[in-house]
Amino acid sequence: MLAALVLSGRVGAGQASDIAGLRAGEQIPALSALGVDVDREILAPRLWGLLLSVLALAVVADVVGLAAATLAGVVLLDVSPGQFFESIVSALHLADVSVGLVKAGAFGLALGICSLGAGLSVRAEARGIGAAARRSVVTTLVSVLALDVVLTAVL
Split into its structural domains, the chain has a count of: 1
Domain of residue 96 covers: 2-154
> Span 23-37, mean pLDDT?
92
Residue 103 pLDDT greater than 80, yes or no: yes
Residue 92 pLDDT greater than 80, yes or no: yes
Distances (CA, A) of 149 to 1, 7, 28, 110, 144: 11, 19, 35, 14, 9
Q: What is the predicted pLDDT for the residue at 76?
A: 93
Q: Which amino acid is at 57?
A: L
> Span 29-44, mean pLDDT?
94
Direct distance between the N- and C-terminal alpha carbons of the chain, in angstroms, rounded to an integer: 15
> Span 80-109, mean pLDDT?
92
For helices 44-75 and 13-24, give the axis angle rounded to 10 degrees: 170
Instruction: Work out the mean pLDDT of the chain and round it to a whole number.
Output: 92
Of 127 and 153, the structure prediction assigns the larger pLDDT to 153
Residue 2 pLDDT greater than 90, yes or no: no
Q: What is the predicted pLDDT for the residue at 6?
A: 86
Q: What is the predicted pLDDT for the residue at 114?
A: 96
Q: Are 50 and 111 in contact (CB under 8 A)?
A: yes
For helices 128-154 and 13-24, give the axis angle rounded to 10 degrees: 140
Q: Are 52 and 106 in contact (CB under 8 A)?
A: no
> Span 72-88, mean pLDDT?
92
What is the pTM assigned to this prediction? Answer: 0.88
